[in-house]
Every structure is written in structure tokens, then in C-alpha cells.
Structure 1
Amino acid sequence: MELSDLFPAQGSKKKRTRVGRGHAAGKGKTAGRGLNGQGSRSGGTKGAGFEGGQTPLARRLPKLPGFTNINRVEYIPVNVSRLEAKFEAGSVVDHAALKEKGIIKHSDALVKLLGDGELTKKLTIKLDKVSKSAKAKVEAAGGKVEEPC
């Protein structure tokens, strides 16, 4: 067998129908569009969502209030009670440590420490944001909050 011997299977290749090219072509005169009506005209199709003159769904539904802020920054909330349960006294709490302990899934996520719960261990916090109540609890336990990393 050679490259020149290859050919498509019988019946797999079919010439496209050239419409509007006379009676002999089989699709002459009206080119398969029928006689009259919207579908017979050029550009006669309506756009997506057209419902035959009925008020489209997009116009029947109410406009909902509000908007989506494209500049929104999402923080993963972590409470001091989680740190109390997972960390030893004197530990440094940063993204890598939180991921290692299974508190967050990705170490590049933004984290905010919140003040729910009690904290008795001395910890060093290196997170993106810390609430006032969380900062007060960390400092009351003898720990410190460093600037965002």
C-alpha cells in the first residue's frame, strides 16, 4: 500500500448542496425556503430569546437590585478558638502554618483572624488582617501581631 492508494470510504464524502442555482440543481427558485413568510426572507431569522412576539422571558422577569463589586477582596475567616486548639504556645501563625494544620486549603489565600473564642497561648500572628477583638486577645495572652506579610 502506498500513500497514493489511500482514499475516503465509499459514501463518506458528499458534495454540499448549492442552493438557488437553477431547477437542475434541485434547490432552485426558492432555494428550499418555501414560498412566503419570515423564513423565506434574507435576514429573516430572529435573534436568540425571540419568542414569536410574546414578551421574552428576560423582559418578563423583574430587575433585581444590587450589583457585583468586581474589586471585592475575599478573606478566609479564622477564629482565635481554632488557633487555641491547633497551635502550641510560642508558635508562629502564618499562611504556611495554617495550611499545614489543615485550617485553610491554599497558602496563598487571604486570611483574617477574628476574635471568637478564648486564647491562652502566646502566639505570633503574621496574617493579612486581624480584627480589633482578636488583636486584643492575642496581646492579652502575651503574643504579638506583626504587620501583614
Structure 2
Amino acid sequence: MQLNTIKPAEGAKKARRRVGRGIGSGLGKTAGRGHKGQKSRAGGYHKVGFEGGQMPLQRRLPKRGFKSASLKFNGEVTLADLQALGKEDVDLVTLKEAGLVGQLVRVVKVVKTGELSLKVALKGVGATAGAKAAIEAAGGTLA
């Protein structure tokens, strides 16, 4: 095989569509643009989402919801997570190393989900009222 003898597979190369080249091409006269109207004319086009002056869909729909950009800096840990972690001293760095919270997280709160029997000392980590009671009942502390 020589480089000058290589050819594409049969049917792989298709001739480009030549519009406006006579009736026999199937795309003569109006060249597939239909009759009249803005889209049939040269240079006659509009921005994406334009509906001919009708109120566009994105403006017809009601404004709803909001997602705070600061959510990615907040984390949540359960009592069950602390039990599974099995460490006595827990702080933000410990939770990040264990993969319980993301690397961007700055503020962590413990929520009362699951059981805790370990004595855990939390440093720089918040807790809900129920979680705080459960931690102190297990002999732990919050700082």
C-alpha cells in the first residue's frame, strides 16, 4: 500500500449540498428557505430565543428559587459519622482528611442523626441542640 493509493471507504465522502443551483438539484429557486419572511432573506436573522416580538419563554416563566453561593463553604456531619470516625479529638482538618466534608468547607455543624457512644471532643465545630445533648450525654465536649 502506498500513500498515494489510499482512498476513503465507499460512501464515506458525500458531496456538499449546493443550494440555489437550479431546479434539478432539488434546492433551486428558494434554496430550501421557503417563501417570504425574515428567515428567507439575506442577512435576516435574529438572536437565539427571539420569538418575533412575542414575550420570550425565559421571560414568560415565573422567577423562582435562589441558591446561595456560600453553600459550598458549609458542611454537615451526623452523629453516626462521628461514631464511624472513631477519633476522640475532632476538628475541621480531621473531618476533611476523613472525607466527611469537602475541601472548600469552612463551617461544619453536627446534626442529630444516628447514635453516638464515643467520648468525642469537638473543636471549632458547631452542633445543633439535639446533637450537643447527645455528645454531652456520651461524655464528650464542645469547644
TM range (shorter): 0.5 to 0.7
2:41 matches 1:41: yes
Mark the runs of 5 or more structure 2 residues left unpaired by the alignment.
none
- For residue 122 of structure 2, the aligned residue among 117, 121, 125 is 125
1:8 CA displacement: 1.7
Q: Within 5 A, what are the aligned runs for 1:67-86?
A: 67-72=66-71, 73-79=73-79, 82=80
The SS at the match of 2:12 is coil
CA deviation after TM superposition for structure 1 residue 41, in Å:
0.8
> Partner amino acid for 1:71?
S
Alpha-carbon distance in 2 for matches of 1:11, 1:118: 67
- The amino acid across from 1:91 in the alignment is E
Gaps spanning 5+ residues in structure 1: where? 100-105
Computed over aligned residues only, the root mean square deviation of the Cα atoms, in angstroms, reads 4.4
Alignment CA distance shift 1:85-1:143 (3 Å) = closer
Provide closer, same or farther for how the CA distance between residues 17 and 25 of structure 1 changes in structure 2, counting only shifts above 3 A.
farther
Cα deviation for residue 7 of structure 1 reads 0.7
- Is the alpha carbon distance of 1:67 and 1:116 closer, same or farther for their aligned partners in structure 2, counting shifts above 3 Å? closer
Query: Which structure has more helix as a fraction of its residues?
Result: 2
SS in 1 for 2:4: helix
1:92 matched to 2:99? The reply is no
Q: Secondary structure at the match of 2:59?
A: helix
2:13 is equivalent to residue 13 of structure 1:
yes
- Residue 55 of structure 1 and its aligned partner are, at CA, apart by 3.5
Percent identity, aligned pairs only, is: 41
TM-score, L = length of structure 2: 0.55
Larger radius of gyration: 1
SS in 1 for 2:70: coil
TM-score, length-normalised on structure 1?
0.53
Q: Which amino acid aligns with 1:68?
A: K
Q: Which deviations, in whole Å up to 9, do the C-alpha atoms of 1:50-105 show, x marking residues without a partner?
A: 445544332322223x53221223311424xx4796587x83344279x5xxxxxx
8 Å contact kept, 2:110–2:127:
yes
**One-letter code aligned to 2:121:** T
Equivalent residues of 2:121, 2:140 under 8 A apart: yes
1:3 counterpart residue number: 3
**Kindly tell me: are residues 10 and 76 of structure 1, through their superposed partners in 2, closer, same or farther at Cα, counting changes over 3 Å?**
same
